[in-house]
Structure 1
């Protein structure tokens, strides 16, 4: 066994620890925790199922014979890709996931992160995290290495707000891959504030993009409505703690800025043979949040 160069994400679900403490005497909160963990554990990468893998085909309408042939092809592709697929470790309120540091690994990593954001959206919880690239051992039994330490440091010490920051090693890795459609896309999904040296993921853009809609079944407007409800619930229930207020204030500013930047989203109303048939553009200005 030796270190591999891998992309790694360390994600912390904010407020989850308090939920666990309160769940012993509150069945609703117990069910919420159970629902969150079940959703997280069901997140897979791009090879999750034949329906996911052939999302742009008419898979659901194929004959049994044709489906069998497609399933066999899917299994062969999945087996061939197995060494490079996303590896996932969950413990308490944290999720660690990693992929090989190459173009294929970046594709799966981005898809996994998109699906994670989509799946956790309905639960009125925010996430904070760190993403980097470096030396790592990640198996079903073990996870350790300098990259793990760095990702944890980024999440716990650098992120500060409900955002997923990326380290310089990750940005260097993107630069090494060169200019192509994927790296250009990832670069556009990074934000760097004028007064900061750290970049972070444009999480709302990721959770409402075409991948989220076509391969995760996400409704972009519902994702943003969930976020609005989450913010307003957290503001209402937040303790009188300046640190909590600061974190929520930052997220409100990011949320409203995204709505201004995006102005409207496309929602798929119906499909034909797995492809979007009818879509509707919905304006977003009514979703803006104001802090009392």
Structure 2
């Protein structure tokens, strides 16, 4: 492969990891020899405990990605020129790469690929925050990190490069518990969108600017100083969750309290402290 074949550009990516898989698979190895239907029936819950959680995460991701791609009914009321403008503003959509027991949402953020790259970035924020809250509500928690760096797609839905490494390092070393950390390079990119001055003339730049404002307003600073997606904040609730937020909140908070009590009683101070932070956030 020569350099001309490598289409390297900047990407925004979110690396998401499903928590608890190491414990779910601990001590397992070869399949058992099933002597009767009862022994096979006893084995399947162990499979569902791990594989079922992964399948649920993938299914939820596919559902919400489909929701972001659906067209709104009022588009039909526009004239041809405004429909073209609407379609260009609403594209591109975030792409997805499956990664063992996790997912990566990503898209290029350069203007060569799209006039409104912030639309994909907004998708990534929305998808990550929603899946984080839903994971707690479903008792299959996730953690993740959003970062922006250079990358390359050698094949469709196969992302490589610094953006994968940087988002993975943030997820594994910084996120630590069920939350979505937002990296400094991503915040720098969002702030650059705010500095674009258009005076309302360039509608694409204005749209990018407005979505960057929304994304920044979807973040908050956690107790350890790291920015994270504030999925219980007003911006996220108003733009994404709406009426469904109360149900997810109640289910998630119940699970958080159970986890806090469990880790406290087991004297697992590391996890007890992390869930106490999450409990205070809720």
Q: TM-score, normalised by structure 1?
A: 0.66
CA contact (8 A) 2:142 2:179 kept: yes
Q: 1:156-182: per-residue Cα shift (whole Å, max 9, x none)?
A: 112223221111111110111015432
| Equivalent residue for 1:88, pick from 56, 79, 96 | 96
User: Which segments of 5 or more consecutive residues in structure 1 lack a partner in the other structure?
Assistant: 60-65, 71-75, 256-292
Are residue 42 (structure 1) and residue 63 (structure 2) matched? yes
Report how far residue 148 of structure 1 moved. Answer: 0.8
Are residue 6 (structure 1) and residue 22 (structure 2) matched? no
| Equivalent residue for 2:172, pick from 133, 145, 156 | 156
CA contact (8 A) 1:11 1:96 kept: yes
Q: TM-score, normalised by structure 2?
A: 0.68
Q: What does 1:81-160 correspond to in 2, within 5 Å?
A: 84-101=92-109, 102-117=117-132, 119-138=134-153, 139-140=155-156, 142-160=158-176
| Equivalent residue for 2:214, pick from 185, 192, 203 | 185
Q: Which residue of 2 aligns with 1:174?
A: 190
SS in 2 for 1:154: helix
Report how far residue 97 of structure 1 moved. Answer: 0.8
Q: Which moved further from structure 2: 15-24 or 227-236?
A: 15-24
Report how far residue 83 of structure 1 moved. Answer: 7.7
SS in 2 for 1:200: strand
Q: CA RMSD in A?
A: 3.6
CA contact (8 A) 2:145 2:168 kept: yes
SS in 2 for 1:143: strand
Report how far residue 78 of structure 1 moved. Answer: 11
Q: 1:129-179: per-residue Cα shift (whole Å, max 9, x none)?
A: 111111012443522101110001111112223221111111110111015
Q: 1:229-262: per-residue Cα shift (whole Å, max 9, x none)?
A: 221332354454222212212211222xxxxxxx
SS in 1 for 2:103: strand
Number of corresponding residues: 235
Q: Which residue of 1 aligns with 2:258?
A: 233
